[in-house]
Structure 1
Amino acid sequence: MIDPSDPPAVQIAKQARIIEALINRAERGHEVGGTAYSLFQSAITLQAKVWEKTKDLEKALDTLGRASSELEIAYQTQERMQRNLADAMVAMEGGFALFSEDRLQVCNTQFRRLLPDVEPLIKPGLAFDDYLRAVEASRSLSGEEDVGVKAVRPSAASGLTEASGNGFSSFVIALRNDRWFQISCRQTSSGNIAVLQTEITDLVRENRREKDRLIDQQAHLLQAAFDHMSLGVCTFSSYGELLVHNERFSALLGLPLPLLKKGTSFQRILEHIERHETVDRKSRRPELARWFKALRRGETVQQHFRRRDGMRLDMRLHSLPDDGFIVSLMDVTAETEAAALLERRVTERTAELTEANRQLQVHAAEQTKIEGALRLAKEAAEAAHVSKTRFLAAASHDLLQPINAAKLYLSTLTEKVEEGDAREVVNRLNRSFTSIETLLQALLDISRLDSSGAEFNITSFSMGNMLQGLSEDLAPLAAEKGIELRIVPSSRWVTSDQRYLMRSVQNLVVNAIQYTERGRVLVGCRLAGTRLRIEVWDTGIGISETDQARVFKEFTRGGGGKGTGMGLGLSIVERACRHLDHPVRLVSRPGVGSMFSIEVPLAAPGHVTVYENPVVEAAPTGDLDLIVMVVENDADELHAMTQKLEGWGASVLAAGSTLEAISLMQDIGTPPDIVLADYQLDEDDNGIETIRTLRALAGCEIPAIIISANRHRDFQSQADEMSFAVLNKPVQLVRLRALIDWKTRARVA
C-alpha cells in the first residue's frame, strides 16, 4: 500500500490515514461485538497492527532524516563549487564563459568587457548564436591582417556548427587598439560549450618584428645580389619612374648619380644617353611608344646598342605584374665578336665545302661511270656464269653418255677377255674411266653448289639406309687396300638433303681410306644436343695445322700432295655443308690420324621407307630370264646396254624413242617385264613419257628404271609419284643388276 519510492512526507501521510482507518474499525467492532472477549481480542489485534505501523512510520522518519542530511550536504557542496568556479574565473587571465543548452550560464569579467559595445548583452541566458552575431557586428573589430595571423569576422552559423559538430572551433579577431585575441569554442562531454578568449597581442607583435627583420635581411641580400650581378638591372613603375637599380646598370650606361634617384623617368634616362652620345649614333633611336605598347601586351622588347668605345650592349624590357617593367643590360661584346668570328669561319667553311662538293660531284660522276662499267662487267660475268652452268648441265648428259657406253663395253669386254696382258689392259681402262667419272662428277657437283640457283631437297630420313648404302659402296675399296672399314649402324632420324649428305660423308670416308696405309677407318654417330654428329675417324698420316686451313680448297691434297685424287672431295663437302648449314669440324695429329665430323639437325622418327637405290644382300647370279625394254637415243649406248643385258641372259627390245618402244611392244603383243629408259631423248621426248605411255597401253604398272644424269628435285619427286627407280649415269652395273632383280622379283613370282 505504501510505495517506498514516494517522498517521506507522502509515506507519512499514507501511514497516518491507515492508522486512523484501523482505529475507526476497532471502535465499530466494539459496538457490534458486544462481548468482553471479542472486545479484548479486537484490542489485541488492533494493538499489534498499531505497533507494526508505528515501526514502519519510525523507519520512514529515519529515512527522511538521512535524505534531508544528504540534501543539505549537496547544497553546501554546490555552493562551495560555485565559489571555487567564481574564484577560478576571476583568477583567469583571459575571458571565459560557459553556455549550457546554448544559453549563457556563467562568465568572468574579462569575457564581459572584451568588446565594450557587446558588454550590455553579456547576461545569463544569452544565446550562443546571438553572442557570435554580436561579436561579428562589433564596431571594436579592425579586420587588420598581420604576419602569420589572419583576422576573421566570426560567423554565427559557422561558429555554432563547428563548435557543435567538430567539438572545437577557433578564430582570431583584431581590435582597433592593435590588440589581438583568439576566441576558442569547445564542446564538453555533457553538451555544454565553453568559450575562451586568449590575448595573443605579444605573439602577433613578435611575428611582426620578425617579418620586418626578414624583409630587411632579404632586401639587403637582394640588393647585394643586384650589386654583384654582371647584368645591369633596373625596375620602373607603371608610370615609367625608377624604383630599384644596381651599380652595374649605371656603369654600363655611364649615368650620373642624380639620374639614379628614385622617381626618375625612363624617358629622361634615354634622353641623357642620346644627348651625351653614350651610344653610337648609328644605333637605332628608341621608340618608347612602341616599347610600351609591346610591354602592355606582355611581350618582351629587345634592343641592341653599341657604345662609342666599341662595347656591345643588349637591352631587354620585361613587363611586371603591377604594370611596371624591368630593364636588363648585358655586355655582349665577347659574344658578338665570337659570333662575327664564327660567321667568318662559317663563310670560309661554306666556301671550302662548296669546293669539296664540286669535287665530290666530279668524283660521283666518275664513280657513276665506274659503277656502270662494273655493272656491265657483272652482267657479263653473270651471263658467263649462267652460260657455264648451262654448259655443265649439258655436259652432265653429253659427257656422261659416252662414258656410260664405254663402261658398258668395258664390262662386256672384261667378261670376254681371258688372256693375261689383254685383261690387264682392260682393267687399266676400267680404272681410267672410273677416274674420269669421279673427276667429272666432282666438277659437276662444284658447279651446282657454286650456282646461285642451287637446289636442295630437304627431307627427314633415317640414317640407317644411308649408312648401309655407304658400307656396301666402300667396303670393296677398303678391302682392296687392306684397311678395316667399320660403320656403326644408327637408327636416328635427321633433316637434310639426303643425296648431298650421302655424297659428303662418302667423300670423307674415301679420303680416310686413301690416306690410311694401315689400320682402320671408323664411321659413327654421336648426339650433340639437338643435333647428330656424323664422325669419320682414321689412323692415317694426319694433317698438320698449316694444312688444316687449306685442305677444303679446290685441288688441295694433304700429306705433301700424296694420294690418287684430284683434291676436290673436301671442297665439295665444305660447299654442300655450308649451303645446308651443317658445321664441319676437323681434328688431326700428324702420324696419328684424323677425325672429320658433320653436324646435322635431329628429326622426329617417321615411317622407314626403302632406300631410293635398294641394296640386296648379295649380287644376283644366273641368267636374267626377262624381257627388257631399253629406250635410249644414243646408238652406241643403246648397243652397249643391249650387249650387256643379253650377256646377262635377258631378251632385249632396243628402241630409240617412245614411238619405237610402242611399236615393239605391239609387235610382240605383250608388255615387257621391265623398262630401262634414258630420261633425255630426242626433241620433246623423254623417258617419263615413255613409261607413262607404255603403262597406259599395257593397262598395268610395268616396273621401270630411269637412267639419267638429271638430278633435279622435281625429277626425283616425279619418280616417287610414279613409282619408278632412278640410276645416275654412268651407271654402276652391280647396282643395275640388283635393282632389276628387286623391281621384277614380285612380278616374276
Structure 2
Amino acid sequence: MIDPEEPLEVQVARQARIIDALVRRANRQHEVGGTAYGAFQSAIALQAQVWAKTRDLERTTDALRHARDDSERMRKNLADALAALDGGVALFTGGLLEVCNDIFQRLLPDISERLRPGLEVGACLAAMAESDHLVTVEGSFDAALAQARRGRAGASVVSLVIELTGDRWYQINLQRTSDENLVLLLTEMTGIVRRNRSEKESLIDRQADYLQAVFENMTSGVCTFSPVGEVMMYNQQFRQLLGLPYTILQKGVELERMLDYVAQHGLITEAAEHDIAHWLDRLERQGRLRRRLRHASGRMLDLHAHRLPDGGVLLELKDVTLESRATVMLENRVIERTAELTRANAQLRLQFEEKARVEEELRLAKERAEAAVSSKTRFLAAASHDLLQPINAAKLLIATLLDAVTDTRFAPTVERLEGSFTSIEQLLHSLLDISRLESTDSALTASELCLGTLMRSVWEDQTPLAQRKGVRLEVVPSMVFVRSDPIYLLRSIQNLVVNALQYTPEGGRVLVGCRRRGGRVELQVWDTGIGIGRKDQKRIFEEFARADNVPLGSGMGLGLSIVDRTCRQLGHQVRVRSKPGSGSVFSIEMEMVEGRLAEPEERCERSPPAAYEMEHIVLLVENDVDVLYAFSQKLEQWGASVLAARSIDEALEHVRDIGMPPDIILADYQLDGGETGDVAIAEIRRACSAHVPAIMITANRGDRLMKQGAAEGFSVLAKPVQLARLRSLIEWKVRWQAPAD
C-alpha cells in the first residue's frame, strides 16, 4: 500500500491516512460487536496495528529529517561556492531562479529585492533591462535568451556586454547546462574596457602626431578642412607655396575667408575673383576640383581639392614650375618637330607614290607570271591526254610484242625498248606532278583512305620491275585509315619504291611496311641498296639533284622532289636514314583517322598469280586507232573476245549484234565529238538493262572522276595503264561485279 520509491512526505501522509482508517474501523466494530470480549479482542488487534504503524511512521520521519538536513547542507555548500566566485552567478531550474550569489543580487540595487527564488528567467532579464543603473546593452536580452534556449545543452554560450553607471562594464554569459537548467554568469570587464580605451586614445594621439609629421615632410602643400569649412590640419609647405600669413592659416580659420584673402591680394594672377567664388560650388557638386594656377611670384601650382568621407575638404598644392617650363619647351620642340615631319611626310608621300607605282608594276608582272604558270598548267593538263595516248599505245604494243618474242633473239631488244618507254612514262608523270604541285589554282584534295590499299597497288605495279632486276620486293600492308590525297600519296609511295628498286643491286631486298607511333603512322621503305651519304641526304629532295654515288643515267632526280612537295602540302613529314653501302630507309609520317578501325593486315604474296586464259567478252571503247588496236591485241593475247568501238554508237551496235551484255566495259574518258567514257558506260548499261562491270581508262589525274566512279560503280585507271593491274582488276570485277541474269 505504500511505495518506498515515493518521497518521504508522501509516504508519511499515506501512513497517517491508513491509521485513521483503522481507528474508525475499530470504533465501528466496537459499536456493532455488542460483546465485551469481542471489543477487547478488537482493541488488542487494533493496538498492535497502531504500534506497528507508529514505528513505521517514526522511521519515515527520521529518514525525512535526514534528507532535509542533507538538502540544507547541499544548498549551503552551493551558496558558499557561489559566494566564493569572483563574478555574479544565477542558476535557473525549469526556467525559475533557484539560487544566485550576492554579487549577482547587488549588481543592480534597484531590482535586488525582485531577485528571489522562483523568479522566471525572462522576468529576471526584463527587470535587468528596466534597471536605472543600466546604461547600454550591446545586443538584446530577449534575443540572447531565445538563442540560449535553442542551443545544445552544455555547448552553446550566448554573450552580452552591458554598461552600468559609474563607467562599469560587465559581460553576461547565458548557457544551458541541461534541458531544464540555465546559468547566468556576470563577469566584470571594466578594467579591460578602460585599458583598451586608454590604448585607443593613446594610439589616436600617436597617429595624429605621425600624420602631422607626414604632413610636414611632404613635398606638396596639404591642408584639411572640417565639414563646416574650418582648418583642421596643414603643413608649412602649404603656407609657403600659397604665400599666406600666419593669421590667415590657423586651425579654425574658415575656407571661404582664406579664398577671399587669395582673391583680394591677387595671389593667383590668372584667376578672376568670381572664378574663385565658384570653386566651392563646383567642389560641392562634383566632389573634386583640379586647377593649374599661376602664383603672383611666378610659380606654377597644381591645386587638387577632394571631398573627405566625413564631408570635409582636402586641399593639395604642388609646385610644377619646372614641369610647366619643360612642357613649354617640349611644345616648342613638338612644333619644330611637326614642321620637320611635315616636310618629311611630303617627301614620303612622293616616295610612297613612287612605291605604289612600282608595286602596281610588280602586281601586273606577278599576274602575268601567274597567268603564264596557269597557262602552262592548263596546257600540260590538256596535252597530257595527247602525250599519254601514244605512250599508252606503245606500251601495249611492246607488251604484246614482248610476249610474242619470248625465247627469241629479239627479246632483249624489246625489253630495252620497254625500259625506254617506261623511263619516258615516269618522266612525263613527274613533269605533270610538278606542274600540278606548282599550280596556284590547283590544290591537293585530302580525303580518308585506307593505306593498305595503296600499298597493295604499289606492290602489284612494281613487282614485274622487281622480278626483272632480281630484287625481292616485300610489302606488308597496314590497313589503317589516313587523311591524304589518294593520287599523290600513291605517286609518292611509288617514287620511293621505284628509287629503292633502282638503286638496289641484284639479289637485294626492298621492304615496305608501317610503324604506328601513338596517333600517327609512319610508312617506311627499306632497301639494301648503295645508300646515301650524310651530306647528300638533304640535297636529294631538290629538283634534278642526285647523290654523288649514283651512276650516270639513273634518272632525272625528280621523284624525291615530288615526294617532298606533296608531303609539305599535305602536312606529312618525310625522313631519310641512310649509310653508304648499308641501304636506306625513307619514311612518310601521317596522322591516322580517329574512329576508323584498322582492318586485319595481310602480307602480299612474293609473286603475282600465274597467268591464265581470260575467257571474257570485253567491250572496248577508244577513239584513238593506235590505242584501240594495241588494247585489242593485248586483250586477245590474254584470251579475251574483244568488241572494239571508237564511239558510243558503235558500242551500242555491238551490244545489239551479240544480243547479250558484255562481261566488262573498258572505256576511254575523252572520245570524239564531245563524247565521254562515263556517258558511254551509262548508255551501254541502259541498253543491256544490266549493271555491267566497267573500267574507265583516262589521262585525267583529278579526283573528281574517281568520286564519280565510286558513285556510279566503275573503276578508274590512269594512263599509261599498268597491265598487271588491268588484268587483275578485270578478273576481280568480272568475278564479283558481273551483271545479274
Tell me whether the two structures share a fold, i.e. TM-score over 0.5: yes
State whether structure 2 residue 561 is matched by structure 1 residue 574: no
State whether structure 2 residue 273 is matched by structure 1 residue 285: yes
Return the alpha-carbon distance in structure 1 between the equivalents of residues 67 and 406 of structure 2: 159
Q: Which whole-Å deviations, capped at 9, do the CAs of 1:355-383 have from their partners, x for residues lacking one?
A: 66656555554444344333323332332
1:478–1:486 distance in 2 versus 1, CA, 3 Å: closer
Code of the aligned partner of 1:585: R
Return the alpha-carbon distance in structure 1 between the equivalents of residues 407 and 185 of structure 2: 147
State whether structure 2 residue 502 is matched by structure 1 residue 514: yes
Code of the aligned partner of 2:471: E
Partner of 2:576: 586
State whether structure 2 residue 531 is matched by structure 1 residue 542: yes
Secondary structure, aligned partner of 1:399: helix
How big is the shift at 1:255? Answer: 3.7
> If you compute each CA radius of gyration, which structure gives the higher value, 1 or 2?
1
For residue 399 of structure 1, the aligned residue among 350, 371, 387 is 387
Partner of 2:154: none
1:83–1:693 distance in 2 versus 1, CA, 3 Å: closer
Partner of 1:252: 241
1:207–1:476 distance in 2 versus 1, CA, 3 Å: closer
Using the TM superposition, name which of 392-401 and 99-108 deviates more. Answer: 99-108
How big is the shift at 1:589? Answer: 0.6
Return the alpha-carbon distance in structure 2 between the equivalents of residues 648 and 135 of structure 1: 124
Partner of 2:702: 712
Matches within 5 A, 1:109-188: 150-151=135-136, 171-174=162-165
Secondary structure, aligned partner of 2:578: strand
Using the TM superposition, name which of 334-343 and 202-211 deviates more. Answer: 202-211
Return the alpha-carbon distance in structure 2 between the equivalents of residues 735 and 156 of structure 1: 103
How big is the shift at 1:576? Answer: 3.7
Partner of 1:484: 471
Return the alpha-carbon distance in structure 2 between the equivalents of residues 626 and 214 of structure 1: 114
Partner of 2:547: 558
Q: Which whole-Å deviations, capped at 9, do the CAs of 1:229-259 have from their partners, x for residues lacking one?
A: 4443445566655454433333333444444
How big is the shift at 1:535? Answer: 3.3
Contact 1:462 1:605 in 2 (8 A): no
Using the TM superposition, name which of 341-350 and 572-581 deviates more. Answer: 341-350
Secondary structure, aligned partner of 2:542: coil
Return the alpha-carbon distance in structure 1 between the equivalents of residues 85 and 232 of structure 2: 51
Return the alpha-carbon distance in structure 1 between the equivalents of residues 298 and 420 of structure 2: 102
Contact 2:263 2:272 in 1 (8 A): no
Return the alpha-carbon distance in structure 1 between the equivalents of residues 141 and 338 of structure 2: 81
1:404–1:90 distance in 2 versus 1, CA, 3 Å: closer
1:195–1:695 distance in 2 versus 1, CA, 3 Å: closer
Return the alpha-carbon distance in structure 1 between the equivalents of residues 638 and 64 of structure 2: 152
Contact 2:476 2:601 in 1 (8 A): no
Partner of 2:153: none
For residue 439 of structure 1, the aligned residue among 413, 424, 427 is 427
Q: Which whole-Å deviations, capped at 9, do the CAs of 1:592-629 have from their partners, x for residues lacking one?
A: 222223446486456999x9xxx9733457xx999876
Return the alpha-carbon distance in structure 2 between the equivalents of residues 197 and 416 of structure 1: 128
Return the alpha-carbon distance in structure 1 between the equivalents of residues 409 and 325 of structure 2: 107
Return the alpha-carbon distance in structure 2 between the equivalents of residues 76 and 15 of structure 1: 32
Q: Which whole-Å deviations, capped at 9, do the CAs of 1:279-305 have from their partners, x for residues lacking one?
A: 353444365643444455573344443
Using the TM superposition, name which of 693-702 and 222-231 deviates more. Answer: 693-702
Contact 1:181 1:197 in 2 (8 A): no
1:479–1:120 distance in 2 versus 1, CA, 3 Å: closer
How high is the sequence identity, in percent, across the aligned residues? 43
Return the alpha-carbon distance in structure 1 between the equivalents of residues 683 and 41 of structure 2: 154
Return the alpha-carbon distance in structure 2 between the equivalents of residues 8 and 735 of structure 1: 128
Return the alpha-carbon distance in structure 2 between the equivalents of residues 187 and 648 of structure 1: 112
How big is the shift at 1:515? Answer: 1.9
1:226–1:744 distance in 2 versus 1, CA, 3 Å: closer
Return the alpha-carbon distance in structure 2 between the equivalents of residues 420 and 159 of structure 1: 123
Contact 2:223 2:238 in 1 (8 A): yes
Using the TM superposition, name which of 735-744 and 431-440 deviates more. Answer: 735-744
State whether structure 2 residue 314 is matched by structure 1 residue 305: no
Partner of 1:658: 648
Code of the aligned partner of 1:485: R
Secondary structure, aligned partner of 2:540: coil
Code of the aligned partner of 2:221: G
For residue 680 of structure 1, the aligned residue among 670, 685, 702 is 670
Secondary structure, aligned partner of 1:448: helix
1:56–1:299 distance in 2 versus 1, CA, 3 Å: same
How big is the shift at 1:399? Answer: 1.9
Return the alpha-carbon distance in structure 1 between the equivalents of residues 144 and 637 of structure 2: 133
TM-score normalised over the length of structure 1:
0.70
1:71–1:237 distance in 2 versus 1, CA, 3 Å: same
How big is the shift at 1:680? Answer: 2.0
1:88–1:631 distance in 2 versus 1, CA, 3 Å: closer
How big is the shift at 1:590? Answer: 0.8
1:291–1:61 distance in 2 versus 1, CA, 3 Å: same
How big is the shift at 1:520? Answer: 0.4
1:348–1:664 distance in 2 versus 1, CA, 3 Å: same
Secondary structure, aligned partner of 2:35: helix
Partner of 1:504: 492
Code of the aligned partner of 2:382: A
For residue 618 of structure 1, the aligned residue among 610, 619, 630 is 610
1:289–1:450 distance in 2 versus 1, CA, 3 Å: closer
How big is the shift at 1:549? Answer: 0.5
Partner of 1:146: none
Contact 1:303 1:316 in 2 (8 A): yes
Return the alpha-carbon distance in structure 1 between the equivalents of residues 727 and 100 of structure 2: 137
1:162–1:705 distance in 2 versus 1, CA, 3 Å: closer
How big is the shift at 1:77? Answer: 12
Return the alpha-carbon distance in structure 1 between the equivalents of residues 636 and 250 of structure 2: 136
1:343–1:393 distance in 2 versus 1, CA, 3 Å: same
State whether structure 2 residue 232 is matched by structure 1 residue 232: no
Contact 1:163 1:185 in 2 (8 A): no
Using the TM superposition, name which of 83-92 and 2-11 deviates more. Answer: 83-92
How big is the shift at 1:652? Answer: 7.1
Number of aligned residues: 711
Partner of 2:6: none
Partner of 2:317: 329
1:539–1:10 distance in 2 versus 1, CA, 3 Å: closer
Structure 2, unmatched stretches of 5+, are: 3-9, 151-156
Return the alpha-carbon distance in structure 1 between the equivalents of residues 98 and 615 of structure 2: 142
Partner of 1:379: 367
Structure 1, unmatched stretches of 5+, are: 31-41, 144-149
Q: Which whole-Å deviations, capped at 9, do the CAs of 1:660-705 have from their partners, x for residues lacking one?
A: 5556777898887876554322221234444544555566677766
1:726–1:607 distance in 2 versus 1, CA, 3 Å: farther
Return the alpha-carbon distance in structure 1 between the equivalents of residues 693 and 226 of structure 2: 116
Secondary structure, aligned partner of 2:526: strand
Contact 1:404 1:730 in 2 (8 A): yes
Return the alpha-carbon distance in structure 1 between the equivalents of residues 77 and 691 of structure 2: 134
Q: Which whole-Å deviations, capped at 9, do the CAs of 1:473-520 have from their partners, x for residues lacking one?
A: 545544544x33231454735546555444433332332232233440
Secondary structure, aligned partner of 2:586: strand
TM-score normalised over the length of structure 2:
0.70
